[in-house]
Amino acid sequence: MARKKLIAGNWKMNCLQEEGLSLAKAVAAKVKAQKWDCDFLICPPFTLLTSIKKCLRGTKIALGAQDVHFAEKGAHTGDISPLMLKDAGCTYTLIGHSERRVDHFESNDLICKKAIAAHNAGLNTVICIGETGAERDAGKTIKVCQEEINGSVPDDATAKNTVIAYEPIWAIGTGKTPTAADVQEVHAAIRKALSKKLGKAVANKMRILYGGSVKPANAKELLSLPDVDGALIGGASLKAEDFIAIAVNATK
């Protein structure tokens, strides 16, 4: 099953206007300069969304947020609704990143509610899952991923509106990555869990990204694995040349 790869950048809580705009412009120029057969997504902080949307015009780079609230509007101080993200020019939002699961005590139930609200508003979601180092050491990686798929992914998710990102928490920002064989094993198990939940046809089309210390040096090996359909990139997405050097490995 051919799935178009998605190269996604999670800028996290980085960049003020000037730095963010110059990074987005540099990525946009590099993406425009070449023909690509992968998709691109960048997820800057909320404060940069509207200004970055302007520099992405005429490129194939989609704009995404890093989180969303499940309510349409109302008394939710500090939160942002799906329609607000659409209004700012987003077509995607990340949901359930481990930093939100930990820092903001986000549960699978809450993440699922956010995904449903985002989909209802016409946004696509990248739903993040992954085990801690302790869970990995205890041999629970696949069980944790299955539970997170079952709990965080809405029952009517489609391959069009949903992307899964497998991000082992111990690999995020640490420079450590699982072996290629381990990544493939977990991605295949995630696809099996998706198949059980959503049916084989949907699971076979749904993109599963790998995230966690992806850089130009390891991108080729990771992106060539059969069940790896792209990458969610944190640190390396803050340098246009690294982001693009990773993306080069996603094209045929």
Of 157, 214, 240, 244, which one interacts with ligand PEP (CB under 6 A)?
214
Chain position carrying tokens 């949901």: 95
Long-range contacts of 245-250 (CB under 8 A, 24+ apart): 245/216, 245/219, 246/7, 246/214, 246/215, 246/216, 246/219, 247/7, 247/31, 247/36, 247/38, 247/40, 248/219, 249/219, 249/220, 249/223, 249/224, 250/5, 250/7, 250/36, 250/38, 250/219, 250/223
Chain position carrying tokens 């509106």: 161
- Nearest residue to ligand PEP by CB is 234
Q: Kindly indicate which of the ranges 14-22, 63-71, 143-151, 207-215 contains the residues binding ligand PEP, using the contact rule CB under 6 A.
A: 207-215
The answer to whether residue 212 forms part of the interface with ligand PEP (CB under 6 A) is yes
Main-chain phi, psi angles of 9, to 5 degrees = -110, 130
Q: Kindly indicate which of the ranges 47-55, 140-148, 180-188, 231-239 contains the residues binding ligand PEP, using the contact rule CB under 6 A.
A: 231-239
> How far apart are CB 216 and ligand PEP at their closest, in Å?
12
Site string (98-137) toward ligand PEP, x via CB under 6 A: ----------------------------------------
Q: Kindly indicate which of the ranges 24-32, 67-75, 155-163, 210-218 contains the residues binding ligand PEP, using the contact rule CB under 6 A.
A: 210-218
Q: What sign has the CA pseudo-torsion 31, 37, 43, 48?
A: positive
CB 209 within 8 A of CB 229: yes
Of 48, 198, 219, 233, which one interacts with ligand PEP (CB under 6 A)?
233
Distance from C-alpha of 66 to C-alpha of 211, rounded to nearest angstrom: 14
Q: Which is nearer to ligand PEP, 101 or 198 (CB)?
A: 101
Neighbours of 25 (CB within 10 A): 15
Q: Kindly indicate which of the ranges 21-29, 113-121, 166-174, 192-200 contains the residues binding ligand PEP, using the contact rule CB under 6 A.
A: 166-174
The answer to whether residue 213 forms part of the interface with ligand PEP (CB under 6 A) is yes
Q: Which is nearer to ligand PEP, 198 or 227 (CB)?
A: 227
The answer to whether residue 66 forms part of the interface with ligand PEP (CB under 6 A) is no
Residue 104 annotated in active site? no
Residue 221 annotated in active site? no
Distance from C-alpha of 160 to C-alpha of 151, rounded to nearest angstrom: 19
Q: Which is nearer to ligand PEP, 122 or 175 (CB)?
A: 175
> How far apart are CB 155 and ligand PEP at their closest, in Å?
26
The answer to whether residue 173 forms part of the interface with ligand PEP (CB under 6 A) is yes
Q: Could you tell me where the beta strands, DSSP code E, fall in the chain?
A: 6-10, 39-43, 61-65, 92-95, 124-129, 162-166, 207-211, 230-233
Residues with catalytic roles:
97, 167
**Given the rule CB under 6 A, which residues bind ligand PEP?**
10, 167, 172-173, 211-214, 232-236
